[in-house]
Amino acid sequence: QVQLVESGGGLVQPGGSLRLSCAASGNIFFIYDMGWYRQAPGKQRELVASITAEGSTAYADSVKGRFTISRDNAKNTVYLQMNSLKPEDTTIYYCNARIVIMTFHQTADYWGKGTLVKN
């Protein structure tokens, strides 16, 4: 019914930049919060950044000043601009969105399959 597809991950030098994208598609009526999470091996998944439908943002302390989250509501897409990347940023990044679907206007959290950022 709903898919989140991430793109933009890859290999980058320390200090470099990457831009992640996540497009939601399917039986969508409305999207509330969208966000990016990451999970290193052996660790819990952690919130990196989130953005409300109105554009209010929140960031993990470890990425403040380096990462910027944004979204295009017309395209159902969320972005994560990552600058000044550090070795500790290396991991898999997952997109998340709280979506209201057309069918009975049910609300649920959806996840992408992840994209690897490595430096």
Q: What is the DSSP string of 31-65?
A: EEEEEEEEE-TTS--EEEEEE-TT--EEE-TTTTT
Residue 103 pLDDT greater than 90, yes or no: no
Whether the CB-CB separation of 110 and 96 falls below 8 Å is answered with yes
CB atoms within 10 A of CB 15: 10
pLDDT band at 46 (very low <50, low <70, confident <90, very high): very high
β-pairing, 77-82 vs 115-118, is unpaired
Among residues 49, 44, 119, 113, the alpha carbon closest in space to that of 78 is found at: 49
Residue 45 pLDDT greater than 90, yes or no: yes
User: Which residues lie closer than 8 Å to 66 by C-beta, 6 or more apart?
Assistant: 82, 83, 84, 85
Number of residues assigned to the chain: 119
E strand or H helix that includes residue 14: none
pLDDT in tens, 55-86: 999 999 999 999 999 999 999 999 999 999 99
